Structure 1
Amino acid sequence: MHFSILLLVLSTTASAAVVKTGSTCVVTPLGETRVARSIDAIPAGDRDFGESIAELYKSAGAPGALGHYPRPAPSKGSTPPVYVQPSARESTEVSARSAAAAVDDTPQILDAFKQCGTDGTVIFSEGTFNIRQVMNTTALRNCSIEIHGTFVWPADNIQYWLSHSYSVTYAGRSTAWLFGGRDVSMRGFGKALFNGNGQVWIDQNKNAGNQNGRPISLTIWKGTNIFIDGITWRQAQFWHTFVAHSQNVTMTNLDMNTTSHSQYKAVNTDGVDTWNSRDVRIANWTVGCGDDCISVKGNSTNIHVSNITCYSSGGMCVGSMGSNAGQPDYVDNVVFEDVQLYRSSNAAWIKTYPGSGHVRNVTFRNIHFENVNQPIYVTSCIYSYQNCDSSRLAISNVRWENITGTSRYNVAAAIHCSSSAPCTDFSFSGIDIKPMNGGSAKTLCSNIKNQATSGLTCTGPCPGSQPQQLTGNV
């Protein structure tokens, strides 16, 4: 279909900031005087003409496909790339500009999705969009979204977010943006930037865990055939992303970094958590955060994670799960492979509460790390470290293959399975973990049913009280 070129000089009024041509809506920030362009006016090099949503999803989900901005797979022993942290000044300046403008682009963003969210295209031009209200865009159908600018969630209205963020059910968590539908793509072309002004959230939170109302940046909610690619996050409010009650989700070529520049830590800034979802593919990510890099939570099935680099994170994790004793949690068919980790708490690990359900068929493969606190870790009683042997949540058929690097202390692996449901069919191969300060690495194990044939030589028992993070050699 051919669209004529339409150029319109905008004022700062809301009515002029969405230009619709056919089934395409072009959105321009209200706080800036810019030129809105129709679909033909976007340079061909910045767009993919004629590619349907179905074709996009199919190609992205194909084995070996890496999306639009592939990065080379990490190699063992490679030098970590220079990773530029966002400066405190940068974050403060963005927040100040947003607050001073007092502009809210939320109504026009929602209007564009209303007009072009079914069998259409929504294009966000270059510039800064201020989002001052929660957004629910879960009714999209066959919609292509292009983001060429910056989305900023101003932090001068924290009380609004604490009281208005949408519940996502899981553990009392909430989100700033519920995103979903069927056959939907969101592409940033390596240009899109999401800024949550996270430093303000970190400082007001004061190291507390899981503050109620503190919003997840983006939640894929009840979505089917969702494709997200080429977006950068800086200073997220809470978790960067959450995938819940969704199926066939592909997220590729994402860059995330939330770092504290104050005395408080960037707690609960996970890269992504999956929950009650299946057929999720995560590839080509760079993440700097203060919590789990990739976390697969309860009732997640067929999750594939590949080509990930994480800094100062919690690494690749199954869990936590099993916190509700009356509701079993299940995780099946998970692969983490081709991962590099730097200065992380753990590398390849599983954390459960003393609950019920199971973890089955999990592979940690080709994971290399430097300066990781306790690389391989399994616990049946995370956080409380009590009633560890009462858990009925069975963990079986887990493989650790080619796990290499340096541990901060002298424990390479600490595995405590519940005596009420011993771990079965564990397999270890290519394990080469050396303490940073020299000496021999310990491997502590308890209640692994096939320990003798697992491929792991255990140097001693692992107590249920073994913490997730150590403070020194044991």
Structure 2
Amino acid sequence: MIFSKTFVAALLLVLSAVADAGKVPVKKCTVKANKNGKDDSDNILKAFKDCQTNSIIEFQKVDYNAHTPITLAGLQNVVVHLKGNLNLPKDMATVQRAINVTLNQPSTYATPWFYIHGTDVSIIGSKDSKWGRFNGYGQQWWDIGNRVLRPQLATFNVTGGLLKDLKVIKPIAWGWNLPGKNIRVENHFVDAAPNNATRESTVVRFQPSSQSKPAERLSPTRASPSTLMVTSKPEQFLIRTHLSLLIGFNLSGHNITVDGYYGHNGDDCISVINGAKDIVAKNGYCGFSSHGLSIGSLGRNGANHTVQNVLFKNWTMDGAVYGARFKSWTGGNGFADNVAWEDITLINVSTGIFVTQNYYDQDKGPRPENPTKSSTRISNFRWKNFKGTLGTNWTDGTCISTPCWNYVPGLDEPKSVIFDLYPGTALDLSLSKIDIRTNKNKKNTNVLCDATSLATGEQDTLGFQCANGPFVATPIKNNKPGQGHH
């Protein structure tokens, strides 16, 4: 069901195998670099056209200027060696004009700069940290909060694929979108942390009263419009925002494994979205105000969305807003089933485990009506072996309104667990071996959970006391036999 361990080896050897058999010649193409600052997109397109099937395509150890959005389609049995770097335009207006007219197929969130389609396609970067990079020059976008016509970096829509040793440096917005199947990602690196700020660098005080004084900014020499800081207390909110919204991977395909990830990015490191099935994401580090290891969002505008069979295992969440997260919209439909987060280390996070089936855009008004009384159903969710610490303040770098877009009643400090459930639609959830402590390494952490939203009998298998207040572990009773993840 999950990505075969022999698949990658077979994929990398397929070209030499057919060559040795004498049946199909393996063609080799080297992408020409202009080396004069001009756009290399035509050279890239030519190489992929000349070596569309049964080929090895090599980027030299130089910087290539990919200044035009590119579609690379119809690839079959192709191994790409990215020994150099691919650079997007540094000028924001150039990016916006190009992405506005490109015919690249849009993804769920945005139009990709690179659209890659085919069968048995590998893109292999470099072990050298200076090469195998996609340079997005996103810092300037984040500094002014520019969200207009932002491209996604790439869509990898292939059957039988490998992404290995690639680096994404200062992307403009979203990273890789993977809607294909039988794909493996290895040793992926993302640097999307602002150069001019840290998670704790700027604090803006806000009081939601008509008598409020102007915001007081602290540490102004380290601040930028991309970094404002937040906690909330009764009658007072501290707001932080970095407008990068950078997701490492959107996974919507089937049979996908991400093994090895190191990233600093302001949204999800891994986001498993509608259509995803049989997903494993393991052995990763996720930092700088990340929104963590996420399912969703699902069910927007009442959509019928599905996610099945997902495992997140062996991750360190350092300075993240969330460790594990599930998010579905008010009034959604469909389901998410058989999802597990295991062996998660938390360092200075705002919320260890967060689930909401009631998400809505709070900066656009109050919670919308739910005339259908529906929700995206969740079932067979497991959180196992979480350990680590919460931060001193509840923070989220994407807050641009008060309350924050992800606010739930009672969110006034870091929490070990938040369950914001739609009544009766969350079944067979359990937490076990949860050791989340305060920043002072004490166990007196708090949770938010409304017992009236639990389905009948759910408290017996939940593993903690569903009530607003201290985290209290409870025995897990009546566990159904044979349940497990991958």
TM-score, reference length from structure 2: 0.71
Does residue 308 in structure 1 map to residue 270 in structure 2? no
| Aligned mates of 1:31, 1:331 — CA distance in 2 | 45
Q: Which residue type is aligned with residue 187 of structure 1?
A: I
Does residue 397 in structure 1 map to residue 400 in structure 2? no
| Matching residue of 2:135 | 195
Q: Could you tell me how far 1:212 is from its partner in structure 2?
A: 5.1
Show the 5 A alignment for 1:144-223.
Answer: 144-156=79-91, 157-166=94-103, 168-171=105-108, 173-190=110-127, 191-206=131-146, 211=147, 213-221=149-157, 223=158
| Aligned mates of 1:126, 1:367 — CA distance in 2 | 37
Does residue 110 in structure 1 map to residue 45 in structure 2? yes
On the 8 A contact 1:410/1:439 being kept in 2, the answer is no
| Matching residue of 1:332 | 308
Match of 2:187, SS? strand
| Matching residue of 1:26 | 30
On the 8 A contact 1:311/1:343 being kept in 2, the answer is yes
On the 8 A contact 1:152/1:194 being kept in 2, the answer is yes
| Aligned mates of 1:184, 1:159 — CA distance in 2 | 29
Q: Could you tell me how far 1:131 is from its partner in structure 2?
A: 0.8
| Aligned mates of 2:108, 2:126 — CA distance in 1 | 34
* Unmatched segments (≥5 aa) in structure 2: 1-14, 17-24, 197-223, 227-241, 392-412, 471-486
| Matching residue of 1:238 | 173
Q: Could you tell me how far 1:28 is from its partner in structure 2?
A: 3.5
Alpha carbons of structure 1 residues 366 and 441: separation in structure 2 relative to 1, 3 Å? same
On the 8 A contact 2:145/2:243 being kept in 1, the answer is no
| Matching residue of 1:453 | 461
| Matching residue of 1:68 | none
Match of 2:416, SS? strand
Alpha carbons of structure 1 residues 214 and 439: separation in structure 2 relative to 1, 3 Å? same
With 156-165 and 421-430 compared, the bigger mean Cα shift is at 156-165
Show the 5 A alignment for 1:55-70.
Answer: none
On the 8 A contact 1:166/1:176 being kept in 2, the answer is no
1:196-249 CA distance string (max 9 Å, x none): 11112223534xxxx35311111112x1001110111111121111112x1111
Q: Could you tell me how far 1:154 is from its partner in structure 2?
A: 1.5
Does residue 129 in structure 1 map to residue 61 in structure 2? no
| Aligned mates of 2:111, 2:381 — CA distance in 1 | 32
Match of 1:279, SS? strand
| Matching residue of 1:252 | 186
* Unmatched segments (≥5 aa) in structure 1: 3-20, 33-100, 463-474
Q: Which residue type is aligned with residue 225 of structure 2?
A: Q
| Matching residue of 1:53 | none
Q: Which residue type is aligned with residue 31 of structure 1?
A: K
Does residue 425 in structure 1 map to residue 428 in structure 2? yes
Does residue 227 in structure 1 map to residue 162 in structure 2? yes
Q: Could you tell me how far 1:115 is from its partner in structure 2?
A: 0.2
| Aligned mates of 1:412, 1:166 — CA distance in 2 | 45
| Aligned mates of 1:457, 1:397 — CA distance in 2 | 18
| Aligned mates of 2:368, 2:339 — CA distance in 1 | 25
| Matching residue of 1:380 | 357
Q: Which residue type is aligned with residue 394 of structure 1?
A: R
1:48-106 CA distance string (max 9 Å, x none): xxxxxxxxxxxxxxxxxxxxxxxxxxxxxxxxxxxxxxxxxxxxxxxxxxxxx3x1100
| Aligned mates of 1:236, 1:336 — CA distance in 2 | 24
Q: Could you tell me how far 1:422 is from its partner in structure 2?
A: 2.5
On the 8 A contact 1:250/1:281 being kept in 2, the answer is yes
Match of 1:428, SS? strand
| Aligned mates of 1:162, 1:107 — CA distance in 2 | 17
Does residue 358 in structure 1 map to residue 358 in structure 2? no
| Matching residue of 1:441 | 445
Q: Which residue type is aligned with residue 431 of structure 1?
A: I
Match of 1:114, SS? helix
Match of 1:392, SS? coil
| Matching residue of 1:278 | 254
| Aligned mates of 1:323, 1:289 — CA distance in 2 | 24
On the 8 A contact 2:430/2:463 being kept in 1, the answer is yes
User: Alpha carbon RMSD of aligned pairs, Å?
Assistant: 2.2
Alpha carbons of structure 1 residues 113 and 410: separation in structure 2 relative to 1, 3 Å? closer
On the 8 A contact 2:99/2:113 being kept in 1, the answer is no
1:3-30 CA distance string (max 9 Å, x none): xxxxxxxxxxxxxxxxxx9610012421
Match of 2:46, SS? helix
1:360-394 CA distance string (max 9 Å, x none): 00000000011111111110122436259833211
Alpha carbons of structure 1 residues 280 and 292: separation in structure 2 relative to 1, 3 Å? same
| Aligned mates of 1:212, 1:399 — CA distance in 2 | 38
Alpha carbons of structure 1 residues 352 and 256: separation in structure 2 relative to 1, 3 Å? same
1:419-456 CA distance string (max 9 Å, x none): 1x431101111101112145611122232321233211
Q: Could you tell me how far 1:307 is from its partner in structure 2?
A: 0.2
| Aligned mates of 2:243, 2:283 — CA distance in 1 | 24
Does residue 412 in structure 1 map to residue 409 in structure 2? no
Q: Which residue type is aligned with residue 181 of structure 1?
A: G
| Aligned mates of 1:360, 1:455 — CA distance in 2 | 19
| Aligned mates of 1:308, 1:161 — CA distance in 2 | 34
| Matching residue of 1:49 | none
Match of 2:278, SS? strand
| Aligned mates of 1:388, 1:458 — CA distance in 2 | 26
Alpha carbons of structure 1 residues 456 and 388: separation in structure 2 relative to 1, 3 Å? farther
Alpha carbons of structure 1 residues 214 and 123: separation in structure 2 relative to 1, 3 Å? same
| Aligned mates of 1:109, 1:150 — CA distance in 2 | 12
| Aligned mates of 2:271, 2:154 — CA distance in 1 | 15
| Aligned mates of 2:50, 2:433 — CA distance in 1 | 55
On the 8 A contact 1:180/1:226 being kept in 2, the answer is no
1:149-199 CA distance string (max 9 Å, x none): 111112221332341345654555111010120011110132311101111
| Matching residue of 2:234 | none
| Aligned mates of 2:163, 2:275 — CA distance in 1 | 22
TM-score, reference length from structure 1: 0.73
